[in-house]
Structure 1
């Protein structure tokens, strides 16, 4: 799956992103206006220095903008640029096309089985996330 996504990103006009960079852009989009280096670090379960380096790289490429908080200069807010929004839209479109393509190739019984499997997988990850959040 990651290889397919990587190929999609490479073939998308003007998008020079890795999968991890794309996932970071998606996190910036999902977090919204409250997005800071710290919230990204917690959201992605990646160290602050690693997120800082990744955000700096994305800013250099023109996908995000950084702005220090007027209330606390230690806090850096991260927002998507127009190019960043284009990238996340393209990635979402890729996933939509992929799901439609797979769904069309399945009969109703297979679609139901796939949906059941995805729901179980989603529950597995939700449970795992809940357990990890409860750890000290």
Structure 2
């Protein structure tokens, strides 16, 4: 995580943390998300997410609006700067994956994919 943060905190994105970047990733670039959805996706409380989102709003990465359908619901979405950060993070992960499978045979890639699937299954046991 420390190395990922070092790689991501560059140039325009030097003021955000790895945690901030994962919140940006959870918000995504599609339609605005409600706070409960994003909190659940990140396995944090809405209160914890609110504190982090407040900081991201101040830094210009996230917009916060009220739902037109239900004014009690807070929707969050990425600003243009937030979208650039999202893309920056996505490219980092793409490069990491390409470096991981460089010089692997197709069979080795399949073994790695199966091992990672098994690892995901292991961690999913702890989410229940």
2:38 paired residue number: 40
TM-score in terms of structure 1 length? 0.81
Residue 109 of structure 1: how far off its partner (Å):
4.8
Partner residue in 2 for 1:60: 58
Q: Does 1:95 align with 2:93?
A: yes
Distance apart, 1:105 and its partner CA: 4.3
| Deviation, structure 1 residue 108 | 4.8
Structure 1 or 2: larger helix share?
A: 1
**1:73 to partner: Cα distance:** 2.3
Q: Cα deviations across residues 54-92 of structure 1 (Å, max 9, x unaligned)?
A: 111111111110001233222111011111111111111
* Number of aligned residue pairs: 127
Q: Unaligned stretches of 5+ in structure 1? A: none
Say which structure, 1 or 2, has more relative contact order (CA 8 Å, 6+ apart): 2
Gaps of 5+ in 2: none
What is the aligned counterpart of 1:78 among 76, 80, 85?
76
Q: Which residue of 1 aligns with 2:120?
A: 122
